Amino acid sequence: MNDAQALTWGDVADRLRSLRKLGLPMAMRIEARDAQPITIHVAADAYHWADDAGNTPLPEGPLQVRVRTLGLADRPLEVRTGTLGALLWRIGMVAFAHSAAPWMVPGERYRMVAWPNLTEVDATTEQVQLCALFGSAALDLDDVAGAVGVDRQVAVTLVSTLSLTGSIEPDPTAPVRKLKGGFGSGPRSLFRMIRERFGA
């Protein structure tokens, strides 16, 4: 994989997805102007970014990316800023804020196979609801967005981000299910009560 210049976060997401699929001990270094570099050790599920306070906004592009294979002489990341999943979430939210990931198939039904680590990522309540539905069955994007009462793009961004982290999969064989709206909004909904209680 070649190093490249002047990339967007969408480009970075695409490359990261490919690297993760390879399953090899690879490192990626992302550089941006006026920011410390972000180093990712893909197989170690870790990244280091000196600027990061946990929710520091990602630097703006254009980005430079260098990728290399880690050898036996390479030491593990000395300082782990956080888990790779948490960083991928943030990359996905930026990269796919207004469009779908290029590998998404329109009209597909998706099933979430792993929750994002909600104590590490900044997820909205609507995103939690979307995750809960996609985690229960393979569902259509529009159907889920309607059930939660959010714009379609919100669901697109979430599904694109979860696909970057390998947490959601298409399931074309799943039966078609039609959800009724109003998830978590009924007068007896425990979710509504908890949401209101915690100000979520």
Partner 1 sequence: MLIAGPMGSGKTTAVQSLSEIPVVSTEAHNNDRAQADKLTTTVALDYGEITLSPEHKLRMYGVPGQRRFSFMWKILQERAEGLLLLVHNDAPDPVPTVLEYLEDFQDLIQRGAVAIGVTRMELLPRPTIPMYVEALRAAYPNITIPVFSVDAREAGQLQKVLVALVAAVEATAMVGAANEGARR
Query: 56 with 34: CB under 8 angstroms?
Result: no
The conformation of residue 62, written as its DSSP 8-state character, comes to -
Applying the rule CB under 8 A, the residues between 76 and 105 that interact with partner 1 are 80, 83, 85
Query: Which residue, 87 or 133, has its beta carbon nearer to partner 1?
Result: 133
Q: How far apart are CA 128 and CA 50, in angstroms?
A: 29
Q: Is 146 in the site for partner 1 (CB under 8 A)?
A: no
Query: Which residue, 63 or 88, has its beta carbon nearer to partner 1?
Result: 88
Q: Is 113 in the site for partner 1 (CB under 8 A)?
A: yes
Q: Is 45 in the site for partner 1 (CB under 8 A)?
A: yes
Where does this chain touch partner 1 (CB under 8 A) — which range of 33-41, 69-77, 99-107, 170-178?
170-178
Q: How far apart are CA 70 and CA 35, in angstroms?
A: 24
Q: How many residues does the chain have?
A: 200
Query: Which residues are CB-neighbours of 179 under 8 A, at least 6 positions away?
Result: 133, 139, 143, 144, 146, 147
Q: Which residues bind partner 1 (CB under 8 A)?
A: 45, 80, 83, 85, 111-115, 117-120, 125, 128-129, 131-133, 135-137, 139, 147, 175-180, 183-184, 189-191, 193-198, 200
